[in-house]
Chains A and B, each alone.
Chain A
Amino acid sequence: MATALAIQSRAAGSYTSPDVSISKVGDREILVQGTGLSAADLADATFTLTQFVEANDSAGGNAGWYPVYGPDVWRGGSISRFTGQPIPPGFDFINEFTRQNSAARRLRLRVDSSRTATWGFDVTDAAAPTP
Chain B
Amino acid sequence: MAIAVDASSPVRWSGANTANGATFVSASFTPPNGSFIVIMVTNDTTTGESGAAYTLTGGSLTYTNRVERQGTETTTGGYSGIYTAPVVTGSAMTITLTRTAGTASTGRASLWARVLTGVDGTTPVDTVGASNEGGSTSTTLTTTSITPGANGMLFVADTDWNTKGVMTSSDLTIDTANYATAISVAAGHKTCTSGVGVTGSLTAGAAGPQHKWCQIIVREAAGGGGGGGITYPQLEGSIRGLNRGLAYRREESGLYLPDRTLVLPPPRGWPTRRAA
Q: Which residues of A contact B (CB under 8 A)?
A: 29, 45, 67-75, 77-83, 85, 87-88, 90-96, 98-99, 129-131
Contacts and interface: CB of A to CB of B under 8 A. Distances in A.
- Give 9 closest A-B pairs by Cβ, nearest first: A73-B15, A131-B168, A78-B16, A80-B181, A75-B16, A93-B177, A92-B178, A131-B170, A95-B175
B160 to A, nearest CB: 13
Interface of B: 5, 7, 9-19, 22, 24-25, 27, 44, 46-47, 105-108, 163, 165-166, 168-170, 173-182, 203, 205
Contact of B105 (A68, A79, A83): A79
A99 B179 CA distance: 25
Pick the most buried of B22, B163, B180: most chain A CB atoms within 10 A of its CB: B180
Nearest to A96: B175
B107 A78 contact: yes
Contacts of B181: 80, 82-83, 85, 87
Nearest to A52: B27
Contacts of A79: 105-106
Contacts of B25: 71, 73
A91 B181 CA distance: 10
Contact of A80 (B18, B24, B47, B182): B182
Given A73-B15, A81-B44, 6 more contacts: A68-B11, A75-B16, A81-B182, A88-B180, A98-B9, A129-B168
B178 A93 contact: yes
A85 B166 CA distance: 22
A78 B166 contact: no
Given A29-B166, A80-B181, A93-B176, A67 B11 contact: yes
A70 B170 contact: no
A73 B12 contact: no
7 contacts: A70-B13, A74-B16, A78-B108, A78-B182, A80-B181, A87-B180, A93-B176
A85 B168 CA distance: 29
A81 B11 CA distance: 27
Contacts of A74: 15-16
B182 to A, nearest CB: 6
A94 B169 contact: no
